[in-house]
Amino acid sequence: MSVAISRLSRLAFAVAAVCIPALAGAQFTLAPLPYAADALEPHIDKMTMEIHHGRHHAAYVNNLNAQLKTFPELAGLTLEAMMGQITKFNMAVRNNGGGHYNHDLFWKLMAPEGQRGKPAPALEATINAQFGSFEEMKKRFDQAALGRFGSGWAWLIVTPDKKLAITSTPNQDNPLMDLPDVQRGTPILGLDVWEHAYYLKYQNKRGEYVTNWWNVVNWNEVNRRYEAAMK
Ligand code: MN3
């Protein structure tokens, strides 16, 4: 009996040692929201956050994992590295890998009240120098968000020559992707303008959503990403 158990447990241990780390390393995972689903109320409502994270983002992660059968090499890539060579893969990887990267970033770019901070002096100075004023930068970002026909994202990026730029991408594309029609750079701020991001609370009023979204921006994270991108 004890020999049998011992053999069984050795076998189980061997199987676990071989399989679990490989599987765990090969899967992309949905991180929990970095705050409670109602933490962005009243600007972004709890149910939108729950559905957006728990269903939409989860679906991108699951669909990306399904592509590991076709492209096992994806497992060895960071999301950033994947974005930078997205043209090597198919549309499913582009849409779902992009969806995973974009949403992972989006949750971090928002924060509950009291944890949002404000633009750091260095970032604010660059915004003023390049756009004339903070308000002008916001205005142009809003234009990118409202001007995006259908689904997509608006971005504030640091370009390869270390300038700020505002851009927009369709669907789940982003400025890290090696696509010919994308203005490339490192995103430091991004806004999801898919209807699933706002329809429950704002219906067709994308402008109102964009205006209110500025209230929940996590400037501490934007500052951190700006500093990192400028190095
Ligand atoms: Mn979304």
Sheet of 164-170: strands edge to edge? 164-170, 152-158, 186-192
Please tell me the distance between residue 171's alpha carbon and the centre of ligand 1 in angstroms: 9
Please tell me the distance between residue 172's alpha carbon and the centre of ligand 1 in angstroms: 8
pLDDT tens, position by position, 160-209: 999 999 999 999 999 999 999 999 999 999 999 999 999 999 999 999 99
Please tell me the distance between residue 196's alpha carbon and the centre of ligand 1 in angstroms: 6
CA distance 217 to 40: 10
Ramachandran angles phi, psi of 37, nearest 5°: -60, -25
pLDDT tens, position by position, 116-141: 999 999 999 999 999 999 999 999 99
Please tell me the distance between residue 56's alpha carbon and the centre of ligand 1 in angstroms: 7
Please tell me the distance between residue 9's alpha carbon and the centre of ligand 1 in angstroms: 44
CA distance 36 to 82: 29
Query: Is the confidence at residue 42, as pLDDT, over 50?
Result: yes
The whole-model pTM stands at: 0.89
Q: Which two tokens stand for residue 1?
A: 């009996």
- Report the percent of the chain where pLDDT is more than 70: 89
Please tell me the distance between residue 230's alpha carbon and the centre of ligand 1 in angstroms: 27
Q: Taking residues 136-150, report their average pLDDT.
A: 97
Residue 86 neighbours by CB distance under 10 Å: 22
CB 184 within 8 A of CB 159: yes
- Buried b vs exposed e over 160-186: b needs ≥16 C-beta within 10 Å? eeeebbbbbbebbbbbbbebeebebbb
